[in-house]
Amino acid sequence: MNLLLVAPILLPMLTAALCLLAWKSVRVQRWLGVAGSAALLASALALFAEVHGRGIAVSHAGEWAAPFGITLAADLLGALMVVLGGIVGLMVAVYSLGSIDEGRERFGFHPLVQILLMGVCGAFLTGDLFNLYVWFEVLLMASFVLTALGGERAQMEGAIKYVTLNLVSSAIFLAALGLLYGLTHSLNMADVSLRLAKLNYPALENLLAVLFFIAFGIKAAVFPLFFWLPASYHTMPVSVSALFAGLLTKVGVYALIRVFTLVFRDDVEFIKELMLVVACLTMAVGVLGAVAQMEMRRILSFHIVSQIGYMIIGLALMTPLALAGTVFYLAHHIIVKTNLFLVSGAVARATGSFELKKVGGLYAAQPGLALLFLIPALSLAGIPPLSGFWGKYILVKAGLESGQVVLVVAALAVSVFTMISMMKIWSEAFWKPHPLGLTPAPVGLLNGPIAAMAAMTLLIGFGVEPMMQLAQRSAQQLLDPQNYIQAVLEARK
Amino acid sequence: MNSLILRTTTGFLLSLLVLFSVYLMLRGHNAPGGGFIGGLTATAALTLYAFAFDVATVRKMLRIDPLSVAGLGLVLALVSGLPGMLGGDAFLTSRWAVLALPGGTEIHLGTPLLFDFGVYLVVIGVGCAVLLTMAEERGE
């Protein structure tokens, strides 16, 4: 069990170290990246099987028991997220074989991707709030360099916004940690949860809850803290923006789920109301922002924001069904959104631009790619029987059960607008002829990861029953954190 | 910089400083010191050498790329966590072996020392990569 928990962190670290040893040889680094990501996915699946079969897995580094040691813990949600991280990592590693330029490779693209994956997996597996901060820093450091790597003018502009707002978020997170430690004298999540339940300082607890909400809200890109995202994601290379789109905001969502199901359970009713409002506005503003855009990746970036809103709904309602919806939505969204960014890269490769006005003719030239775009695009909009439909269906049902009619209407309206955006990309990039009459170039290897992820979308869509059971089980674990707390605090060999 | 005095003394200072950095690293287990400070000291020594002579000399002296030194350090630090797991304990659980030398001296060797050495190499590698690159850019 110890090995399974540390492997998803150690394997990317080992891969990064080996990439540094092979600093001079880009070819070796490339294959190390693919092999390391594949190993990460395998270890994540093994961890998931263990957690699925035998319950929450806990390991204390160096055998220093909680709440003093470094705790790693994986419940179903954590293990599922690590698996998704592995999938995105592998797909992006394969995709970048055919898309990333050698200049970026020579300045450490491959080790940086691995360090980013290490930070992401660490954040999903840690059982300690301060370590969560550290893992956030690890993944942010890697992402800062990846954002700026290449040094193009537009990229630098995006990078400055990205770095600044994320540093603000880290500062707020750290301040909140300091206050929390002052209040409870502990940072281990399970321990803090028990200690907070015994204390009676509602004002301070509310303040802390809001601070955590703001810190993670910036990272998750919720309204009104999302401006860094559409300002920066379209400036990076496609592999990088796909990796970020799939994983980074979702780490923020994961942290929100973890903190608001485990640490702050009672006494923070008003933050739920706040979350509902924020979720509605995030959905609406994100999707309306996308309507005005004519650049593929900017459209997709605004849709990340709007989709984050759906995930927050489930967390705000906090019923078993709603939370299961959030977990389901996370899994669906990571795969679909990463894939859409990969498709946008393939479109740009084939036709030479991300600007919808300058591309076209792909349906006639490459019907295969067109089909591969339609699967994630329709899934994002929520067309049955694709994965997005089920995610939205569960959340809408949960919303109706809780009597949140406004929320349900907003969620459905946002779906329609999502559909409009996807159809805009469809008609501009695929349907209409190329404005200059060019024939799109073949994209070769890039089709591989896109097809694999489209297949996963179909799998979730048609195999909705087992996926839903999984989401419900993990929602149960989240809503009844006693097992988690017990597992962490009483874990002995 | 072209100074005879600096170049002559740096020759002596380099070995002394590197020796001191190893001493700092070794005493770090129970006293102030450790891999990080040791690594910084060694980096300072190499930087001094780069000032007295030039960057190319230091690169030649290191033999391998500074970033590869950092990679090696990472691998060592990672490996130091594994022996504990072989015995069924958690990652990074320490393991000790006592080496008895003739004359009654005992040397305690353990995985934390390996970890410290890994950190030492990472700090040297990253420090040199940053400083040498900056020095090169200034020189060009």
Residue A346 domain-assigned (yes or no)? yes
Q: Does B47 touch chain A (CB under 8 A)?
A: no
Residue A249 domain-assigned (yes or no)? no
d(CA A10, CA A467): 28
Q: Is the pTM of this model over 0.95?
A: no
**Structural domain count of chain A:** 1
Given a contact cutoff of 8 angstroms between Cβ atoms, the answer to whether B20 and B37 are in contact is no
Residue A332's pLDDT is what?
94
Residue A402 domain-assigned (yes or no)? yes
Kindly provide the ipTM of the predicted complex, given to two decimals: 0.88
Mean pLDDT in residue range A240-259:
94
What residues contact residue A316 under an 8 Å CB cut-off, 6+ apart?
A: A272, A273, A275, A276, A279, A322
Residue A103's pLDDT is what?
83
Place of tokens 């109706």: A400
Residue A359 pLDDT greater than 70, yes or no:
yes
| Across A115-124, B96-105, B122-131, least confident range | B96-105
**Structural domain count of chain B:** 1
A21 contacts in chain B (CB < 8 Å): 68, 71-72, 75
Q: Does B90 touch chain A (CB under 8 A)?
A: yes
Q: Is A20's CB within 8 Å of B92's CB?
A: no
Question: What's chain B's average pLDDT?
Answer: 88
The pairs formed by A269-273 with CB atoms below 8 angstroms and a separation of 24 or more are A270/A206, A271/A206, A271/A209, A271/A210, A271/A213, A272/A316, A272/A317, A272/A318, A273/A316
Residue B60 structural domain: 4-139
Given a contact cutoff of 8 angstroms between Cβ atoms, the answer to whether A278 and A226 are in contact is no
For B91, phi then psi, to 5°, come to -55, 140
Residue A35's pLDDT is what?
96
Q: A152-180 pLDDT, tens per residue?
A: 888 888 889 899 999 999 999 999 999 99
Residue A260's pLDDT is what?
92
CA atoms within 13 A on the CB side of B105: 5
Residue A385's pLDDT is what?
85
Q: Does A492 touch chain B (CB under 8 A)?
A: no
Q: B97-123 pLDDT, tens per residue?
A: 888 888 888 888 888 899 999 999 999
B74 contacts in chain A (CB < 8 Å): 13-14, 16-17, 20
- Minimal Cα–Cα distance from A171 to chain B, Å? 25
Q: Does A60 touch chain B (CB under 8 A)?
A: yes
Q: Is B78's CB within 8 Å of A23's CB?
A: no
Q: DSSP E strands: which ranges in chain B?
A: 96-100, 106-110
Mean pLDDT in residue range A411-418:
92
Classified as helix, coil or strand, A382 is: coil
Mean pLDDT in residue range A264-283:
85
Q: Does A383 touch chain B (CB under 8 A)?
A: no
d(CA A242, CA A92): 7
Residue A337 structural domain: 268-462
Residue A215 pLDDT greater than 80, yes or no:
yes
A2 contacts in chain B (CB < 8 Å): 85, 88-91
Q: Is A62's CB within 8 Å of B88's CB?
A: no
What residues contact residue A384 under an 8 Å CB cut-off, 6+ apart?
A: A390
Burial class (CB in 10 A: 0-12, 13-18, 19+), B123: buried
Q: Does B86 touch chain A (CB under 8 A)?
A: no
The DSSP-derived string for A75-132 is: -HHHHHHHHHHHHHHHHHHHHHHTTS-HHHHHTTHHHHHHHHHHHHHHHHHB-BHHHH
Nearest by CB: B78 against A17, A24, A493: A17
d(CA A36, CA B24): 35
CA atoms within 13 A on the CB side of A260: 32
Residue A182 domain-assigned (yes or no)? no
Residue A493 pLDDT greater than 50, yes or no:
no
Place of tokens 């399974």: A4
Going by pLDDT thresholds of 50, 70 and 90, the confidence category of residue B135 is confident
Given a contact cutoff of 8 angstroms between Cβ atoms, the answer to whether B123 and B40 are in contact is yes
Going by pLDDT thresholds of 50, 70 and 90, the confidence category of residue A491 is low
